[in-house]
Amino acid sequence: MSLYLGLDSSTQSLTAIVLDVDGNRTEAVFESSLQFDDALPQYGTRHGVLPRSEPSVAVSSPPLWADALDVMMARIAASGLDLQRLEAIAGSAQQHGSVYFNANAASLLAQLDPAHRPGAQLAPALSRLVAPIWMDSSTSAECAELTAALGGSTTLAERTGSRAFERFTGPQIRKFFKTDPAAYAATARIHLVSSFLASLLAGHDAPIDPGDASGTNLMDLATAQWWPAALEATSPSLGRKLPRIAPSWTIAGTLSRYWQRRHRLPPARVVSWSGDNPCSLIGTGLVREGVAAISLGTSDTIFGLMRAPRIDPTLTGHVFGAPTGDYMGLTCFANGSLARERVRDMFGLTWSGFSQALAATPPGNNGRVLLPWFDPEITPPVLVAGARRYGLAEDDGPGHVRGVVEGQMLSIARHSKWMGVEFDDIRATGGAAANREILQVMADVFGAEVHRFAVGNSACLGAALRARHAHAVAAGDDVSWDDIVRNVAATVDPVQPDPSRHAIYQELMSVHAACEAHALGRGPARAM
């Protein structure tokens, strides 16, 4: 019987899950979450972000993340679990954020005083007191510079998995070098949030795994190593400042003496951390092609495993490394739950009334199409917000309800075809996954069975499963990823597709594409 700890450091919170594994039985025996703002108010964050005067700038505090880890480890130590059975720890972290260490960091990490929290002790190790995070979109100029230096957006996507994105780490590093060259010169190591926290647990530098490294615009997908040309185009001597890239199951070390003495924890193996999206791939059980997860949250996201990297020709999708050693494709849509809420509120509906209106309207909406771009959209790129209606009257409430759901599902289906995978099984997560009528439209559009995912924090669960996998690999055990996720990444409430409705949506795909092309100024108006 062994215990495995998974941690997830998101934008706003830190979550922990402990799995108890005994043969073929795997059981979650501990789960806890803390909100940064509430648990550590002295840092002054709001929703995990430090106060900002510029909307495009978003930073947080590395000492905050370190102290949150300390609070969580104290909870685990007080849980009553037999922690001498704790074999391995792995983690998930918000992608794209970066932490900047000076030359003092190595000695400070190794000599933390167990009588005190880590945050204040780490502050002297930072060459930059704050960490830019994924919400920061202030690097458009740097993205343009990297794109020009590296042969254009298509070349950049083919080599790194994505065109230059403002939220990615490479452009953020370049901006830091340009705006504060002295602090950049004083930087000895640049970590991602994931490798920073793994280093804190191990007491020394931890590597970065390909899943998180591929969210930087700096990793060559083909080699899973840093791309020299991208490093050179970003900033001087960057290759010497970055940790090495190592497989996701790499053991970074054992839990340092600081954590052993402070919380009486055992010298468990510390597994390289990864990003939240790659960890969610494992936590939702997506370890074969043909299975996708659709997250219906503030933004809607579809992702799935890819055996070989395939690049989105529209350059809106992303390819990341997967913890399995494969790849994952991901496409994000900004108009998710907020668009559904906008329609609900426009017509004074409750969520129950929204569901009733959806169930009462015909599949295909009698050919009427709503492009629900109430906010600027990522996929497809739409800078000017505003819903576009085709054959749909502005006062038609039921038509808008079906229009927003069908418009979103058709868009997700169309803009995920670049992955080159036919999905026969879809796992639905996020708040709207509780709405069975929405899931029915999803099943009918894709022609695939849809399951609601039972566990709330799939990234944290994925981290715990990665800890188990890495421990097995280190022990020389021949264990498959199917064995790792079996009976753990569980789903409930299957929704079956209706073949006749799927046929309607197959015909509607071309109509939806034509409406989108017209709205983007790329095609003629559609006759109604």
Is 526 within the bounds of a domain?
Answer: no
Is 86 within the bounds of a domain?
Answer: yes
What CATH number is given to the structural domain containing 389?
A: 3.30.420.40
pLDDT at 490: 62
Is 528 within the bounds of a domain?
Answer: no
Nearest to 372 by CA among 360, 361, 387, 392: 387
pLDDT at 458: 87
Is 219 within the bounds of a domain?
Answer: yes
Tell me, yes or no, whether 107 and 93 share the same domain.
yes
Tell me, yes or no, whether 322 and 432 share the same domain.
yes
231's torsion region: left (phi>0), alpha (psi -120 to 50) or beta?
Answer: alpha
Cβ contacts of 124 within 8 Å, gap of 6 or more: 104, 108
**Residue 472 near residue 269 (C-beta atoms within 8 A):** no
pLDDT at 527: 56
The number of beta carbons lying within 10 Å of the beta carbon of residue 396 is 18
Tell me, yes or no, whether 398 and 448 share the same domain.
no
pLDDT at 526: 66
pLDDT at 14: 96
Q: Please give the structure tokens belonging to residue 486.
A: 């079996």
Preceding amide of 380 cis, omega within 30: yes
pLDDT at 432: 87
C-alpha to C-alpha distances, 343 to 54, 164, 374, 429, nearest whole angstrom: 30, 33, 10, 21
Q: Please give the structure tokens belonging to residue 244.
A: 């090495």
Is 261 within the bounds of a domain?
Answer: yes
Cβ contacts of 182 within 8 Å, gap of 6 or more: none
Tell me, yes or no, whether 406 and 464 share the same domain.
no
Is 251 within the bounds of a domain?
Answer: yes
Tell me, yes or no, whether 320 and 236 share the same domain.
no
Residue ranges making up the domain that contains 511: 337-415+502-519
pLDDT at 376: 85
**Residue 471 near residue 464 (C-beta atoms within 8 A):** no
pTM: 0.89
The number of beta carbons lying within 10 Å of the beta carbon of residue 454 is 14
* Structural domain total, the chain: 3
Give the integer Cα–Cα distance in Å for 225 and 245: 6
Give the integer Cα–Cα distance in Å for 180 and 162: 27
Is 115 within the bounds of a domain?
Answer: yes
Cβ contacts of 476 within 8 Å, gap of 6 or more: none
Q: Please give the structure tokens belonging to residue 215.
A: 């969210």
Nearest to 134 by CA among 38, 219, 216, 41: 216
Tell me, yes or no, whether 404 and 487 share the same domain.
no
Torsion of CA 161, 162, 164, 166, to 10 degrees: -120
Give the integer Cα–Cα distance in Å for 278 and 9: 14
Tell me, yes or no, whether 507 and 487 share the same domain.
no
For every residue of 20-62, DSSP letters joined together read: EEETTEEEEEEEEEEEHHHH-GGG--BTTB---SSTT--EE-H
Tell me, yes or no, whether 243 and 352 share the same domain.
no
- Tell me the pLDDT of the chain (528 aa) as tens digits: 899 999 999 999 999 999 999 988 899 999 999 999 999 999 999 989 999 888 889 999 999 999 999 999 999 999 999 999 999 999 999 999 999 999 999 999 999 999 999 999 999 999 999 999 988 989 999 999 999 999 999 999 999 999 999 889 999 999 999 999 999 999 999 999 999 999 999 999 999 999 999 999 999 999 999 999 999 999 999 999 999 999 999 999 999 999 999 999 999 999 999 999 999 999 989 999 999 999 888 789 999 999 999 999 999 999 999 999 999 999 999 899 889 999 999 999 999 999 999 999 999 999 999 999 998 888 998 888 899 999 999 999 999 999 999 999 999 999 999 999 889 899 998 888 889 999 999 999 999 999 987 666 889 999 999 999 999 999 999 889 999 998 776 667 799 999 999 999 999 999 999 999 999 999 887 655
pLDDT at 524: 87
Q: How many CA atoms lie within 13 A of 80 on its CB side?
A: 3
Tell me, yes or no, whether 295 and 361 share the same domain.
no
Tell me, yes or no, whether 314 and 376 share the same domain.
no
Residue found by looking up tokens 């997830």 in the block: 8
Tell me, yes or no, whether 383 and 508 share the same domain.
yes
Give the integer Cα–Cα distance in Å for 181 and 127: 11
pLDDT at 455: 63
Tell me, yes or no, whether 509 and 404 share the same domain.
yes
Give the integer Cα–Cα distance in Å for 456 and 450: 17
Nearest to 456 by CA among 4, 2, 8: 8
Is 61 within the bounds of a domain?
Answer: yes
Residue 503, φ and ψ in degrees, nearest 5: -65, -40
